[in-house]
Amino acid sequence: MKTYQLEEIALNICDGVHNTVIDDENGDCLLLSAKNIQNGRIIFDDTDRKINRELCDKLKKRTHLSKNDIAITTVGANVGDLAIIGDGSENYEFQRSVGLIKTNTAIADSIYLFYLLGTKSFNYFFHVIATGSAQPCLFLGTLNKIKVTLPALSKQKRIASILSAYDNLIENNNKRIKILEQMAENLYKEWFVRFRFPGHETTPFENGIPKGWKLKHVSEIGDIIGGGTPSTDNEEYWNGNIPWLSPADLTDYQGVYIDKGANNITELGLAKSSAKMMPKDTVLLSSRAPIGYVALAKNDICTNQGFKSIVCNQSIMKPSYLYLYFKLNKSYLQSFASGATFPELSGSMVKKLKVLVPDISLLEKFDTFAKKLFEKTDVLLTQNQNLIKQRDLLLPRLMSGKLAV
């Protein structure tokens, strides 16, 4: 084992672009930031900034960004979050909120270093050394001097191989989850947007929709339930057995069914607040900070006041259909938000939202298909949670040498 400063085992340590960059809505490259680093991966979404190829190539001359480089968030509350650069790095660059470490592979295995810097002790250390008056910042000068202790390169590679095997399984499951989600969305669009549902060839249309289908207010298809928050000053209300959600629990959630959030409350906390228990398959819709995130309750659950949740009248509406209606119309929902302090979808507004309600027999057919896809997604997510637990148990033991390889 030998101890090095990061700058001694790196070919390059830099951060993203500092200068003002002009976006190009027609660009085929992306300019990413700290928000794109999540759970060890680079995550892309439709809000990412676009730049043109010429600018991307120019920025790359400085960073030399390539596969297996390590990205680390250097600004904000999540300072020290890490991701390993994968395929496709030629199509994106980073803003200054992200640091980049290119290892000298003659000394350090980049995958091993990624796992080492991702241990709890290093994550805590990054938060301790981050400075700044407005928000925490991890400066390059500090990053360069961080000390790491490395075993022989061959041992680094063996440990990296063991840990990455877990992450490869997780990534494969994530790809399968994405395919299943897309299948459900495509089926919804095919039947209820393009109107190519079973029997559409012989179905008459009235006013642009199939005969017998109705536009109904949300209040006509189910009960709308708000939420509440027990007093945070009373410890007797918290750390119980009742799952309690806030909108933040949905923002990064991957999946359809949700059965827990970051906090639980007690029976007393439920009784002493306006939170209400809602049954399995309740459509959980975030109505405040942020708006338009949606999930289905896997079990009985309650929420804070940032939700307007719908318990469907299943003789009229199926939760799987309403879930996808909300999910695929997030921007539409957000456009109805109002509020001086922060945007919110009020209960009265949710009641008045109109939903196209197909024939119940067709909804039942769709529900059968959709539920199978949702349940497969849920199984894969459970597998991922178990894989993450196993990997995280192995990680400190492998790094410390307590577990031989």
pLDDT digits (tens, 9 = 90+) for 137-163: 999 999 999 999 999 999 999 999 999
Amino acid at 98: V
Domain segments of the chain: what residues?
2-150, 152-202+360-405, 214-227+246-263+274-357
Give me the percent of the chain exceeding a pLDDT of 90.
Answer: 86
Name the fold adopted by 152-202+360-405: Helix Hairpins (1.10.287)
Question: What was the pLDDT predicted at 366?
Answer: 98
- 48-104: pLDDT as tens digits: 999 999 999 999 999 999 999 999 999 988 899 999 999 999 999 999 999 999 999
CA-CA distances (angstroms) from residue 293 to 6, 298, 299? 40, 16, 18
List the beta strands (DSSP E) in 152-290. 205-206, 209-210, 214-217, 222-225, 238-245, 257-258, 263-265, 283-287
Q: Please tell me whether the overall predicted TM-score, pTM, comes out greater than 0.75 for this model.
A: yes
Residue pair 76/69 in contact (Cβ under 8 Å)? The answer is no
Q: What's the DSSP call for residue 79?
A: T
In CATH, the number for domain 214-227+246-263+274-357 is 3.90.220.20
Domain 2-150 identical in fold to domain 214-227+246-263+274-357: yes
The CATH architecture that domain 2-150 belongs to is Alpha-Beta Complex (3.90)
One-letter identity of residue 193 = V
User: Which pLDDT does position 340 carry in this prediction?
Assistant: 67
- Residue 136's Cβ-side half-sphere holds a number of Cα atoms within 13 Å equal to 18
Q: Which of 242, 233, 218 is nearest to 310 (CA)?
A: 218
| Residue that is written with structure tokens 């949700």 in the block | 258
Q: What's the chain's average pLDDT?
A: 94
